[in-house]
Structure 1
Amino acid sequence: MDKLKRDVEDCKIIDNPSLAELRQLATHKERTTKYGSASYISRMKNRSAKATYIVTAEGFQLGVDQQGMPPEQALSLSAEVHRFLKDVESSNH
């Protein structure tokens, strides 16, 4: 599984941003309610079991309500996520 561990290059880590910094980062996604409050909608509402996968290995038994993913598929998905993160960071510069 070490193949899944990859560095994300050109990544900017924001450690403990202030409320003002968070608002600035999210401004492009902000919608104002009729009461003047900021409102944000995310694509992922929560981390549900339906969207959670465990990379399976030979002899590994999945638990109740757990979904498995073959290592090859996990590597492919991992590469896709890293490409996405790289693209997002590039477009934010």
Structure 2
Amino acid sequence: MSAYDDRNQVVSRIQEKLREFLFTETEVFYYHLENVGVRRDEILDKPEEFVDALHDIFGNGAALIESAIISEIKASNSDTAAKQGLVDVLKSIERRAK
């Protein structure tokens, strides 16, 4: 699997997890995400901004979403080491994809 495929797989897993939490409101979330300067395909490029947007939109509920995304990524990517937060996990994946 190429780095590009791995990157797309991670972004796809993030989007799946967001759909589980947001149901039909996923597009609203992406609209707000783009308003802070992060397109869907830039989540790995801008992990801090992505996580900040989660916290701005969901407040304390963002921690639950972060945890679920981390679990999903770890389940599908055995190379992902235990990290402290979503930003670290996304950065490690982005580094490997380059």
TM over 0.5: no
The structure richer in strand per residue is: 1
Structure with larger Rg: 1
Q: TM-score, normalised by structure 2?
A: 0.26
Q: TM-score, normalised by structure 1?
A: 0.27
The structure richer in helix per residue is: 2
